[in-house]
Amino acid sequence: EVQLVQSGAEVRKPGESLNISCQGSAFSSPNYWVGWVRQMPGKGLEWIGIIYPSDSETTYSPSFQGRVTISADKSINTAYLHWSSLQASDTAIYYCATWSGTYRAFDYWGQGALVTVSS
Amino acid sequence: DIQMTQSPSSLSASVGDRVTITCRASQTIFTYLNWYHQIPGKPPKVLIYSASHLESGVPSRFSGSGSGTDFTLTINSLQPADFGTYYCQQSYTTPHSFGQGTKVDIK
């Protein structure tokens, strides 16, 4: 079974940068992407974007384009979500998940990483 | 972007009840529709993919139907483990948008 392990909770000030990570065993498997999903406090799920680790092809939601950067290092089976300048509105839990190209669904999820942005 | 609208936003039901949640897409998505279940403090878990296919290990009391723009998730004989929030997600085109969620409480 695929396991995704995310980095821990982070607290940052507005304007600071941040990288969170997600390590998993399926990243080098064909037909598997890695996606990121945001869940703001008490709210629903929002699709941020997705990356194909084998060639780093990335697609973003227009709502998040330019606000975050998704990357991956297939040599260490790790995907990243990066902010160059955090805002208080980025406070949320961020999940990574593997996207099966066969079933076209997020089939395995990380445990989530709480990002708190506060002055 | 494709907008996904779920109804109801919340419901309360008793153990053993049959529960139905609907999801409507703003344009046709054929059968590219997934359902997830999330318990507070946990990541979501996929229940149904491609509108009607049960994910391995998911109890058979869950079923999905629909195509085009209108979809349904049915839970036959609701169990205490089924409380939480259910989300639909379209996988037809990026961004793979989610519905706003349906919160299910157990009476």
Q: Residues B47, B37: contact at Cβ < 8 Å?
A: yes
Q: Which residues of A touch B98 (CB under 8 A)?
A: 44-47
Tens of pLDDT, residue by residue over A41-89, are: 999 999 999 999 989 999 999 999 999 999 999 999 999 999 999 999 9
- Per-residue pLDDT at B68: 98
Residue B89: closest C-alpha in chain A: A105
Q: Which residues are bridge partners to B57 per DSSP?
A: none
Show pLDDT as tens, one digit a residue, over chain B (107 residues): 999 999 999 999 999 999 999 999 999 999 999 999 999 999 999 999 999 999 999 999 999 999 999 999 999 999 999 999 999 999 999 999 999 999 999 88
Q: Which residues of A touch B55 (CB under 8 A)?
A: 105, 107
Q: Which residues of A touch B97 (CB under 8 A)?
A: 47
Name A43's Cβ contacts closer than 8 Å, sequence gap at least 6.
none
- Residues 68-87, chain B: which have Cβ within 8 Å of A? 85, 87
- Report cis status (omega within 30 of 0) of the bond before B43: no
Question: In this complex, is the C-beta atom of A110 within 8 Å of any C-beta atom belonging to chain B?
Answer: yes
Q: Residues A78, A23: contact at Cβ < 8 Å?
A: yes
Positive/negative CA dihedral, A43, A44, A46, A50: positive
Task: Please answer yes or no on whether A105 and B32 come within 8 Å at the CB atom.
Answer: no
Residues B40, B92: Cα–Cα separation, whole Å: 28
Q: Which of B50, B55, B95 sits opposite A47 (nearest CB)?
A: B95
- Per-residue pLDDT at B40: 95
Q: Residues A26, A33: contact at Cβ < 8 Å?
A: no
Q: How many CA atoms lie within 13 A of B9 on its CB side?
A: 3
User: In the predicted model, is pLDDT for residue A90 greater than 90?
Assistant: yes
Question: In this complex, is the C-beta atom of A46 within 8 Å of any C-beta atom belonging to chain B?
Answer: yes
Which among A46, A113, A79, A52 has a CA at the least distance from the CA of B95? A46
Q: Which residues are bridge partners to B105 per DSSP?
A: B12
What band does A29 get if pLDDT is binned at 50, 70 and 90?
Answer: confident
